[in-house]
Amino acid sequence: MNLPAAFTACLIALVPLPVVAQDGPPQEEFLPKGDKGPVVVVISGQSGTPNYRSYAGQVAGLGYYAVLIDGKDILTRQQDGAGNLRKVLARAQASPKGAPGKAMVIGFSQGGGGVLAHAVAMPELFMAAVVYYPATSWARSLSGVVGRMQLPILVLAGERDRYNNCCLIEHMREMDAAAKARGHPLELVVYPNADHGFNLTGPAYRPDDAADAWRRTMEMLAKHHPVK
């Protein structure tokens, strides 16, 4: 059976290709539509990469070279999260499908916490960041987290998020206030009826909120890391 070329390209973007990791954490790659794509690092929540593969495939479908990694390898006490992030990006930039230069980073829950802990202080590597309901319970000082930020960041949060008290809306608003006081480009978007994981398939899924969050993410990508 001969499949239409556009449909075949979509399937390729959605199927992860594992990258053997001899140095650093494993990563899955999702290929861009063209020969090369700007790199976007997608960092999963605590549940691991399977729940986030369709999202990484969507990113690749926009023309990016997306790499998906486990948030447990970035926000961790057992490993060097910042070092792991550098190794992941170096491998992505060395790929024949990844364009050289800086990347964008998108993190979810624990992975979003990894973005706040490490990526926001790496302007030499990343252009900007998007975090969905990021873990903040690890931080001793949210003002201190904001003080380390050197990237524009979009925070997408659910008003009703009480999942393990990891990602409370009160913490998001505290970060927002600290960013405003410092004049830092942090944008907080709160979905009033949303819970943790509102964009993932499951009981918390809210299609309208998920679509709005995706639209805003695409706008961040187009503004800070456009496909050329």
pLDDT tens, the chain, 228 aa long: 333 343 334 434 555 655 545 578 999 999 998 889 999 999 999 999 999 999 999 999 999 999 999 999 999 888 899 999 999 999 999 999 999 999 999 999 999 999 999 999 999 999 999 999 999 999 999 999 999 999 999 999 999 999 999 999 999 999 999 999 999 999 999 999 999 999 999 999 999 999 999 999 999 999 999 998
In a domain, 16, yes or no: no
- Residue 63 backbone phi and psi in degrees, to 5: 110, 10
Domain that holds residue 85: 24-224
Distances (CA, A) of 197 to 13, 17, 53, 62: 23, 25, 14, 22
Looking from the CA of 153 toward its CB, the CA atoms found within 13 Å total 36
Residue with tokens 């690890």: 138
Number of domains in the chain: 1
Distances (CA, A) of 134 to 66, 131, 154, 178, 179: 20, 6, 11, 16, 16
Residue 90: its H or E element: helix 81-94
Q: Which of 167, 108, 107 is nearest to 142 (CA)?
A: 167
In a domain, 14, yes or no: no
Residue with tokens 């060097």: 80
Q: Are 16 and 28 within 8 A, CB to CB?
A: yes
Residue 127: its H or E element: strand 126-132
In a domain, 11, yes or no: no
In a domain, 216, yes or no: yes
Tokens for 134, please give them: 């990021």
In a domain, 34, yes or no: yes
Torsion over CA: 201, 205, 211, 213 (sign): negative
CATH code of the domain covering residue 47: 3.40.50.1820
In a domain, 44, yes or no: yes
In a domain, 1, yes or no: no
Looking from the CA of 61 toward its CB, the CA atoms found within 13 Å total 17
In a domain, 33, yes or no: yes
Q: Model pTM?
A: 0.90
